[in-house]
Amino acid sequence: MDQAALTLKDLWPCFEGIIPATIATCAKDGTPNISYVSQVHYVDPDHVAISFQFFNKTRKNIAEHPFACVMVLDPRAMQAYRLSLRYERSESSGPLFQAMSLQLQAIASHAGMSDVFRLRAADIYAVQRIERVEGITSLPTPAQDERPPSLFIEPNLHALRVIGERLNRAECLGELLETALHCLDEFFGLHQTMLLLADEKRGKLQTIASRGYPENGVGSEVGFGEGLIGTVATAKLPLRLSGLDHTLRYARAVRDRAEAVSGPDAVCREIPLPGLSNASTQIAVPLMLRGRCLGVLVAETLEPLTLLIREEALMAIVAGHLAAGIEQSAHETDDPIAVDTPVAAPSSIRSALSPRSFCFYHADDCIFVDGEYLIKNVPGRILWRILKQHQDEQRVEFTNRELRMDSWLGLPEWKDNFETRLILLRKRLEQKCPDVRLVPRGRGRFALETSVNIILSEKPA
């Protein structure tokens, strides 16, 4: 093996803990020390982690003089390697610590020593030099091609695992959607994303979450078959468009249309689709579940050649998780589970607060706030119901169940994902009227919190 080309990855069999490693350190007074190490963990191409269980001489020496020499052995041929290390930091929480701690605990519990063998920290060292120790064994080192390529996890695969775990931890639909977009940004650099859910009855896709745009665009709609997003929903296949021509930029088209109808006399009842007007590439993947398209996940970028087949594949996997999560949330019980958080009492000095005027248009179930379009259809009716009860009965807390059973709202009887309507409503309020908030109070329950004087009016049909 070419020593100059040795990397930590070449040493993979050494990190399986089969032959114990040793660590040499030196005290400030020059006294050397050598001891065994429970675990040498591969962290990344430039770092290893060493388990710290006991306050011992090694720890003391490292604190005084942060250099160490570790000898690891490849158990296949007893080939030894020296690693020259420099201590960087200690981690006592996080995934690496947890993984090392769990391994140690398993060993300790086998030996009935759970209290004694406890990982205090994962000490992270930078690897400054790797040396193959010559003249240790007469056996040849196994050739490179004998190594399983799967031992070191590919970063995208690791990221997908983390994303899957985070999505499965989401407590509610809103958290699930936010987590998905956040993760696509954090792990894959997809800074501009949006998620639209299908309303099969109306043949529309409605934006329920977005990330990376000045306006969240929640509530904006695209028809099935319209533009990139609508086409993906109909075809139920992912689509990637590079070098986008103006006419293909659906976001821009919808925005233009919205602007066109909002003259000085016209009132705009369209929410513009979020989107980069000069995107170079867009990817849209359907959220598929048992042959149904539940929605479309979209990413776009200004940078050419950054959204490629890799991103499409990663998004498709995330979209699959999302589809399962969304479907699951539709089946969750509405039984309210309360949490112990105080509900803000209605203000007794209401008259001193600044006013916000909400107007409900019965003709199209549309609500305007201070003359600006807020929301329509079912979420519009939900908000109106809440605001009316707040005004008439001073109610602040509501349950999904009571609203679901309210026939005036006109909710479909079966398989309606009520939570998506609340998310939409909540986000529209955040964008257009942040003084009025719908705050979750545990599953199936929420409260109306407001710091303004709400004035209601109605326009009959």
Partner 1 sequence: MIPPAIVDLLHTGVSVNVGTRDADLMPECTRGWGIWVEPDGKAVTLLLTESASAHTLLNLRDNGLIAITCSRPTDHVTCQLKGTVSRVRPATPQDYERQRQWRRAFLGELMAVGVPAEQVEAIIMQPAVAVEIQVTGVFAQTPGPGAGEQV
Site residues, partner 1 (CB under 8 A): 20, 22-26, 28, 30-36, 38, 54, 56-57, 65, 67-71, 75, 77-78, 80, 82, 84, 113, 116-117, 133-139
User: Minimum distance from CB of 65 to partner 1 (Å)?
Assistant: 6
Closest CB to partner 1 among residues 70, 197: 70
User: Minimum distance from CB of 229 to partner 1 (Å)?
Assistant: 59
183 three-class SS? helix
Which residues fall within 8 angstroms of residue 179, CB to CB, at 6 or more apart? Answer: 166, 167, 170
Closest CB to partner 1 among residues 88, 185: 88
Which residues sit opposite 445 in a β-bridge? 399
Closest CB to partner 1 among residues 28, 158: 28
Token pair 């990663």 is found at 314
Which residues sit opposite 124 in a β-bridge? 49, 89
User: Minimum distance from CB of 139 to partner 1 (Å)?
Assistant: 4
User: Minimum distance from CB of 182 to partner 1 (Å)?
Assistant: 42
Cβ 341 vs Cβ 440: under 8 Å: no
User: Minimum distance from CB of 418 to partner 1 (Å)?
Assistant: 57
Cα gap 125→50, rounded to integer Å: 8
Closest CB to partner 1 among residues 80, 251: 80
Closest CB to partner 1 among residues 70, 297: 70
User: Minimum distance from CB of 14 to partner 1 (Å)?
Assistant: 14
Which residues fall within 8 angstroms of residue 349, CB to CB, at 6 or more apart? Answer: none
Nearest C-alpha neighbor of 8 from the set 131, 186, 168, 143: 131
User: Minimum distance from CB of 110 to partner 1 (Å)?
Assistant: 14
**What would the two tokens of residue 356 be?**
């916000």
Closest CB to partner 1 among residues 77, 447: 77
Closest CB to partner 1 among residues 54, 152: 54
Helix ranges (DSSP H) in 189-249:
227-235
Cα gap 84→251, rounded to integer Å: 55
Cα gap 18→6, rounded to integer Å: 21
172 three-class SS? coil
Closest CB to partner 1 among residues 33, 389: 33
Closest CB to partner 1 among residues 113, 302: 113
Beta-carbon count within 10 A of 373 CB? 19
User: Minimum distance from CB of 71 to partner 1 (Å)?
Assistant: 5
Cα gap 345→350, rounded to integer Å: 11
User: Minimum distance from CB of 122 to partner 1 (Å)?
Assistant: 18
Which residues fall within 8 angstroms of residue 161, CB to CB, at 6 or more apart? Answer: none
User: Minimum distance from CB of 9 to partner 1 (Å)?
Assistant: 22
Closest CB to partner 1 among residues 122, 195: 122
User: Minimum distance from CB of 321 to partner 1 (Å)?
Assistant: 42
- How far is C-alpha 112 from the geometric centre of its chain's CA atoms? 39
- How far is C-alpha 450 from the geometric centre of its chain's CA atoms? 29
CA atoms within 13 A on the CB side of 151: 18
Cβ 124 vs Cβ 88: under 8 Å: yes
Closest CB to partner 1 among residues 23, 319: 23
Closest CB to partner 1 among residues 75, 434: 75
Distances (CA, A) of 269 to 10, 198, 364: 62, 20, 10
Burial of 400 (0-12, 13-18, 19+ CB in 10 A): buried
What are the b/e assignments for 105-125, b being 16+ CB within 10 Å?
eeebeeeeeeeebebebbbbb
Cα gap 240→428, rounded to integer Å: 29
Cα gap 106→165, rounded to integer Å: 22
User: Minimum distance from CB of 319 to partner 1 (Å)?
Assistant: 47
The 8-class DSSP code of residue 33 comes to E
